[in-house]
Structure 1
Amino acid sequence: MPFAPAHRLVLIGGGFSTDTDGLLDDWTLSHARASRPKVCFVPTASGDAPAYVEQFFTAFRPRNCEPSVLSLFRREFDDDALRTFLLSQDVVYVGGGNTANLLAVWRAHGVDRLLGEAYEHGTLLCGISAGANCWAEGSHTDSFGPLTFLPDGLGLLPGSVCPHYTSESGRRASYQEAVATGSLSAGWALEDGTGALFTDGLLTEAVTRTPEAHLHHVRADGNSSVTEQALPCRLLVKAQ
């Protein structure tokens, strides 16, 4: 029988846009299927902001990888070339911004289907903030202004996701309310500084770049409240 690749997703609570040590991005790339991976940055959620794209290239050009960017607001590929390009990537790294807008634009261009196909073929999918939200069945977001729940996503990761869990005012309480009321299913709340690897939909590794930061699993307890479990995280350190 043909070999079936593992299906892997990484949720990143930081990365090149906020961290100076590069620990979370180095850890993410360590899970790529190639020793010199092709890494495609997808900045759709920011409207393909040029400064964000340049920030990505500044961070990844020195690394042992082949960085590229997929722009959809100034799209260059036809449908066949877009599919070929995305399926050739070892890592697809999705940036932060507006989750609802990201999903709408992806669907207009068929990128949602292509990313699902890439995932099935072993491409590592990852991202920060909106780029973490998009993989789940639902998420906690400020896409519409005030913090709220979004029962929408690609559904590659079961459950829901909440980024910036303790660093943004109101996030924790608002996400817990959404889970307690059933507006969002149980899920994963990332503090800034953490990373979570999922293999075939199951959590297989949790890491942190700071000892104080944690990954949490939040689920309804059946009594109009939630159970919040802080999960052990391996501390990332710079190689000597």
Structure 2
Amino acid sequence: MTVVPEPRLALIGGGFSDDEDGLLDDWVLGQVRVPRPKVCFVPTASGDAPAYVERFFAAFQARSCEPSVLPLFHRELDDEALRTFVLSQDVVYVGGGSTANLLAVWRAHGVDRLLHEAFDRGTLLCGISAGANCWAEGSHTDSFGPLTHLADGLGLLSGSVCPHYDSEPGARSSYRAAVANRALPPGWALEDGVGALFTDGRLTDSVTRLPQARLYRVEPDGGGGVTEQAVPCRLLVPPHQVTPPARAR
């Protein structure tokens, strides 16, 4: 009997585009139990920016995986080949940029439906910034210029997402206001450096590459404000800093 893996997705507050140590990307690859996972980078939110694609390949060609990229602004695959390609991936890694534009382009090409199918089949979906926003029911974004709420997304993760909670000026207050007035449903706020793994909709791992970085659960408090609860995060450390277990005597 074939066992279908539980659907999983990861929100990343960093990765190859922002961090030099690669800890969050290694953490993502560590979630896939195959020797050389197929990792597809989807740079739609940046308009398939060539420099972004180059940084991805520079980071992942040095790792034990099979990296590839899915361009949509100069698409080469027909519908059947596109479906075969997406469903063959072990990891789909979505880059940052415009959340609103990303969703519009995906829907025009049917990629939204393919990602739903891949998710149900056990492909690990993940991403940074817009690539984290897109999986939820709604998100906090600057896709329209000023920071605002976007009550739209693929809905693979219940609630909403706010990236760059500590680094984007005004993000914290703006997101809290959107949740308080119910423009966005309760959700997850990520400071830069954090990673959050969800398995079948449940938070099953939370990590950070920075001791001070936090993941928060933000919910309305019933009185016109919000509650903001910090979630404990496991600190990631480079392999050479891991202390081996003491030998028994």
TM-score of the superposed pair, with normalisation by structure 1: 0.99
Matches within 5 A, 1:68-107: 68-107=68-107
Are the equivalent residues in 2 in contact too, given 1:137–1:151 (CA < 8 A)?
Answer: yes
User: Highest CA radius of gyration, 1 or 2?
Assistant: 2
**Residue 124 (structure 1) aligns with:** 124
2:39 and 2:4 mapped to 1: Cα distance? 22
Are the equivalent residues in 2 in contact too, given 1:33–1:90 (CA < 8 A)?
Answer: no
AA matched with 2:188:
W
**Residue 226 (structure 1) aligns with:** 226
Matches within 5 A, 1:9-48: 9-48=9-48
Matches within 5 A, 1:62-211: 62-211=62-211
Secondary structure at the counterpart of residue 58 of structure 2: helix
Deviation string, structure 1 residues 140-176 (Cα, Å, up to 9, x no partner): 0000000000000000000000000011110000000
AA matched with 1:112:
D
2:219 and 2:15 mapped to 1: Cα distance? 27
**Paired residue total:** 240
Cα deviation, residue 115, structure 1: 0.4
Secondary structure at the counterpart of residue 58 of structure 1: helix
Root-mean-square deviation (CA, aligned residues, Å) is 0.7
2:84 and 2:231 mapped to 1: Cα distance? 38
AA matched with 1:38:
K
Q: Is it true that 1:214 corresponds to 2:214 in the alignment?
A: yes
2:63 and 2:137 mapped to 1: Cα distance? 32
Deviation string, structure 1 residues 153-209 (Cα, Å, up to 9, x no partner): 000000000000011110000000000000000000000000000000000000000
Give ranges in structure 1 of 5+ residues lacking alignment. Answer: none
Cα deviation, residue 33, structure 1: 3.6
Deviation string, structure 1 residues 81-118 (Cα, Å, up to 9, x no partner): 00000000000000000000000000000000000000
Cα deviation, residue 4, structure 1: 2.8
Cα deviation, residue 34, structure 1: 1.7
Give ranges in structure 2 of 5+ residues lacking alignment. Answer: 241-249
Secondary structure at the counterpart of residue 14 of structure 1: coil
Secondary structure at the counterpart of residue 192 of structure 2: coil
2:6 and 2:160 mapped to 1: Cα distance? 21
Secondary structure at the counterpart of residue 239 of structure 2: coil
2:130 and 2:168 mapped to 1: Cα distance? 14
Secondary structure at the counterpart of residue 138 of structure 2: strand
AA matched with 2:45:
A
1:232 and 1:35 mapped to 2: Cα distance? 30
Secondary structure at the counterpart of residue 228 of structure 1: strand
**Residue 244 (structure 2) aligns with:** none
Deviation string, structure 1 residues 19-52 (Cα, Å, up to 9, x no partner): 0000000001100242210000000000000000
Cα deviation, residue 2, structure 1: 4.3
Cα deviation, residue 5, structure 1: 1.4
1:170 and 1:202 mapped to 2: Cα distance? 28
TM-score of the superposed pair, with normalisation by structure 2: 0.95
1:104 and 1:210 mapped to 2: Cα distance? 34
Q: Is it true that 1:58 corresponds to 2:58 in the alignment?
A: yes
Runs of 4+ aligned residues of structure 1 deviating over 3 Å after TM superposition are none
AA matched with 2:63:
R
AA matched with 1:221:
D
AA matched with 1:213:
A
1:53 and 1:44 mapped to 2: Cα distance? 10
